[in-house]
Amino acid sequence: MFVIHCPYCGKREQSEFKAGGEAHIVRPKQPTELSDDQWAEYLFMRKNIKGVQFERWVHAHGCRKWFNMVRDTSNDEIKAIYKMGEKPPRKL
């Protein structure tokens, strides 16, 4: 079980958090302009890699804030945590 550093509350047990899938997938501004394939790309396609993955997490049993997390799925090492809207750190 991880210890996650919530950017608003500090270090907490993983059980307080919920994972929300891949990060940096922006909802299209004009969905109606998209073809079925383009929409499907947004809707369904998610990475599931062994290695460094960008994820969304929420401090569900805490401040309820969403944030981004960079995690190596092969060893669960958390490489970075940053707020929503912020860019991932260049060096990981």
**45 makes contact with other proteins (CB under 8 A):** no
Q: Quick one: which of 5, 12, 65, 79 contacts other proteins (CB under 8 A)?
A: 65
Query: Which residue has tokens 């947004």?
Result: 42
The radius of gyration of the chain's CA atoms, rounded to the nearest angstrom, is 15
Q: Quick one: which of 5, 7, 16, 20 contacts other proteins (CB under 8 A)?
A: 20
Q: How far apart are CA 51 and CA 89, in angstroms?
A: 17
Residue type (1 letter), 31: P
Q: Quick one: which of 10, 46, 75, 91 contacts other proteins (CB under 8 A)?
A: 75
- Among residues 66, 75, 84, the alpha carbon closest in space to that of 20 is found at 66
Where does this chain bind other proteins (CB under 8 A)? 1-3, 13, 18, 20, 26-27, 30-32, 34, 36, 39-40, 43, 56, 58, 60, 64-66, 75-76, 84-85
